[in-house]
Structure 1
Amino acid sequence: MKIECSVEKIKNAISQTERVTGKNLTLPVLNSILFIAVNRHLKLRATNLSLGVEIEVPAKVEKEGVVAVSGAVLNAMFSNFSHNESIHLEDKGGNLLVRTNKSQITLKGQSHEDFPTIPIVSGRTFEIDSKKLTEGIKSVYYSSSVSDIKPEISSVFVYTNGDNLIFVSTDSFRLAEKKIKIKGVEDITGIIIPWKNVVEILRILGEVSGVVKVCFNKNQISFSVDNIYLTSRVIDGIFPDYHQIIPKDFSTEIVVLKQDLLNALKLSNVFSDKFNQVNLVVDPKQKIFELSSMNNDVGENKTRVDAVLKGESTELGFNYKYFLDCLQSITTDSVSIKMSGTGRPMVISAVSDPSFTYLIMPMNK
């Protein structure tokens, strides 16, 4: 292999692929990035066996070839190169010779014959704008469980309902649902994508624009856009039937400016206990909407927030972090909060935007 290419293009590709490399003592080649020089391109591949990525960058290829080099070392090295210079890469007996105008470096290579293949997924397909796809993922993924004990909820669940592509995640204490309008997609009963993979998919696709081709079957899902190909395993399991836990009737309703609520939550956080508990008091007759928190080592806080209140008086405790997380998914100026009594979940959404629904289970006082 012998090529010349732009530092800027390869630097970005290395940064993206390095995060996908694996850490496997029985298969050490997983910590490497595979370079494949072919035609007028350099392909960079990485995989951890659950998630795989291939990114193609333009290059002047003098000699085709393949070499595998540590992803962490490559990323650290390229972070010190200027964007506007050219770089020469050459395979020297399985090692990688790197030359710039001022540097010459030899990186120890690994046996590329042991590098796993990245599957080309075949199955059902649909297309979606990258911004819509990342909006759907970003709106819900933070609600996933991060524990592997129940893999079916350490995930983002994707399915269709009419013209909506619906993204859902839950950790049993909260749940987020985002509906994205999309046309021309046949009925999808459910795809469960591992949370760890979703984080990297969002990070990589969040930097691109254009139409993403999605292909999936019962074992894998892939995303193709421009010069990027991503593939992830899907979880063989059943996502909880969450519709039954979302209340249909409410006894108390609140409409509040998002920024006012955000400020009150952040202040309450200063005085919250080790369980992150903040208490909420609503009294529509007295026009009181109050957030309070107490920490025996710090002090206590009570903050009233201007709001439009309807219905019955109620009190409940909740994890302020769960509340804070969902506000990033609400793009309107006002937030709707609905409750149906003590011990029942609180439902949060954007005013005049039914596409996002968020549910928080209350905490015991």
Structure 2
Amino acid sequence: MKFTVQAAPLAAILKQCGRVASKKAGDINGNFLIDVQDGHLNVTANNGHQQMSLHLQDPSLIVREAGSVCISASKFEQIVSSLPVDRDVTVSVGEEKATVTCGRSRFSIATLPASSFPKALHSDGQVQTALTIESHALRDGIRGIAFCVARNDVRQYLNGMLFEASEGKLTLVGTDGHRMGMVELQIEKSSSMKFILPVACLEDVASFASHGYVTITHSGNLVSFTAVNGTMTSRLVDGAFPNYCALIERAETGQLINLNRDAITSAVARVSLLSDGKSQAVRLKFCQQTVEVVSVSNDALSEAEDLLPCDFDAAPFDVGFNSRYAQEAFKAVSSTDLQLFYSGPASGTLIKAKDCPHQKFVLMPVRL
């Protein structure tokens, strides 16, 4: 096997696949499968839970000898990334090693037969359902609420993002039990689909969905995302996702407050500097047409407060929030016209943009 290609496009595809490859020393899943055929190059990474296979079709690619090989993902990526981006790289594979040359630089890496690479992920044989969505919509939807998803919760079903398709829309939901984010994306009519995508591959899918359209195929315990540049496949999280519809419907019945997104976000950031504890909680005191943001501290000599105007005309109330959670939710709202719906001290507060009903956040209060 032998091919020549410019360093920049090769480094880009190796970096993306490298996110999936295992980082454990000596693990067979820490290798790339490089497959070169006439006019195209394919790179595959598989860690046992996710698999990414990307195509490289670049004008600079010259295939001198077709073939396939298994090669160390980290070493190969590091070598190619260290080379000048505008120079050509030649990779030739012999009996048990690959030689990488670029100008006067030369590297030799041990290889394994292509047959050593882990087998592709296969579903349990259940009926497939599929839908197609614009790449940028999927990417922005995932990134817009990914911060709400739990990372290492004992409730495994929280360690992933819910994908639910029905009636011409794809709903994405993430929660860690303290906050929740939901976004609805428009799609062509499709069969119903529902699964939980692991948090570990959310950013992989988002970066994979770079342009054009993505086809999502769900079959049993697997889901695949297919675009013009390749396919990303992942195992799914088991369990039943919480009833997010009931939580949102309950929160939407609360008192409405209109605020400026940037003003309230900045005020919470400033005031929380003098708040104590891991959550650095802040107290929001709503009164006639104003909201006072106050720090929460055990030190009687340390206090911060900020007063902002708001559109509110009802009985005064106080509510406490984790300052970081509040800032992340406020920043994620797509408009500067922010709306809060307060339903009481034991319920979540709904946060959304005034002119965007398709994106909503629910923030649970903290005890002060």
TM-score > 0.5 by shorter chain? yes
Aligned to 2:305: 302
- Describe how 1:166-181 pairs up with structure 2 within 5 A: 166-181=171-186
SS in 1 for 2:55: strand
AA paired with 1:18? G
Contact map agreement 1:141 1:155 (CA 8 A) in 2: no
8 Å CA contact retained: 1:165, 1:179: yes
2:315 aligned with 1:316:
no
For 1:132 and 1:120, the matched residues in 2 are separated by 27
Q: What is the correspondence of 1:274-285 to structure 2 with a 5 Å cutoff? A: 274=277, 275-284=279-288
- In structure 1, what is the Cα distance between the partners aligned to 2:99 and 2:293? 61
Paired residue type of 1:281: K
2:131 counterpart letter in structure 1: F
Which runs of structure 2 are paired with 1:207-246 in the superposition (5 Å)?
Answer: 208-246=210-248
The corresponding residue for 1:22 is: 22
Q: Which moved more, 1:137-146 or 1:75-84?
A: 75-84
Amino acid corresponding to residue 146 of structure 2 in structure 1: Y
Offset at residue 47 of structure 1 (A):
1.3
- Tell me: CA distance 1:305–1:323, structure 2 relative to 1, closer, same or farther (3 Å): same
C-alpha contact (below 8 Å) 1:252/1:312 kept by paired residues: no
For the pair 1:334 / 2:337, whether they are aligned, the reply is yes
SS in 1 for 2:309: coil
Query: Superposition pairs for residues 151-170 of structure 1, below 5 Å?
Result: 151-170=156-175
After superposition, residues 107-126 of structure 1 pair within 5 angstroms as 107-110=109-112, 112-119=114-121, 123-126=128-131
Map of 1:147 onto structure 2: 152
Unaligned ranges ≥5, structure 1: none
Task: Give the conservation status (yes or no) of the 8 Å contact 2:252–2:350.
Answer: no
Matched residue, 2:274: 271
Q: Residue 197 in 1 paired to residue 211 in 2? A: no
Q: Give the Cα separation in 2 of the matches to 1:131 and 1:361.
A: 30
Q: Does 1:66 align with 2:71?
A: no
Indicate the residue corresponding to 2:107 in structure 1.
Answer: 105
**CA 1:62/1:120 → structure 2, altered by over 3 Å: closer, same or farther?**
farther
Do the aligned partners of 1:178 and 1:356 also contact (CA within 8 Å) in 2?
yes
- Give 1:150 shift: 1.7
**Contact 2:171–2:183, Cα closer than 8 Å, also in 1:** yes
Alignment partners' CA distance in 2, 1:328 and 1:203: 21
Deviates more, 1:35-44 or 1:322-331: 322-331
Residue 146 of structure 2 is aligned to residue 130 of structure 1: no
- The reply to whether residue 253 of structure 1 matches residue 253 of structure 2 is no
**TM-score (normalised: structure 2):** 0.92
The alpha-carbon deviation at position 360 of structure 1 amounts to: 0.8
Q: What SS is found at the alignment partner of 1:108?
A: strand
What is the distance in 1 between the residues matched to 2:157 and 2:136? 26
Measured in 2, the distance between the counterparts of 1:104 and 1:146 equals 41
Aligned with 1:309: secondary structure? coil
- The 1-side partners of 2:92 and 2:314 are apart by 72
Shift of 1:276: 2.1
AA aligned to 1:325 is E
For 1:117 and 1:328, locate their aligned partners in 2 and report how far apart those are by CA, in whole Å. 42
Cα distance, 1:301 vs structure 2:
0.8
User: CA 1:301–1:250 in 2, change beyond 3 Å: closer, same or farther?
Assistant: farther
Q: Give 1:290 deviation, angstroms.
A: 1.1
Cα deviation, residue 289, structure 1: 0.2
Counterpart residue type for residue 56 of structure 1: H
Deviation of residue 79 (structure 1)? 2.2
Q: Deviations over 1:324-364 (max 9, x none)?
A: 11234312121101101222211100012110111011111
Q: d(CA) in 1 for partners of 2:166 and 2:114?
A: 44
Aligned residues: CA RMSD = 1.9
Q: Once the 2 structures are TM-superposed, how far is the Cα of residue 9 of structure 1 from its aligned partner?
A: 1.1
Tell me if the contact between 1:179 and 1:355 (Cα under 8 Å) persists in the aligned partners. yes
Q: Is the CA contact (8 Å cut-off) linking 1:253 and 1:310 kept in structure 2? A: no
Cα distance in 2 for residues equivalent to 1:265 and 1:232: 38
1:192-250 alpha-carbon deviations (Å, 9 max, x no partner): 11111112211332xx2101111111211111111221111112321111222332554
- Structure 2 distance, partners of 1:198, 1:36, is 26
Matches within 5 A, 1:342-353: 342-353=345-356
AA aligned to 2:133 is: I
Letter in 2 for 1:332: S
Contact 2:283 / 2:294 at 8 angstroms: preserved in 1?
yes
Tell me the amino acid that sits aligned with residue 2 of structure 1: K
- Give TM-score scaled by structure 1 length: 0.92
Which AA in structure 2 matches 1:200? D
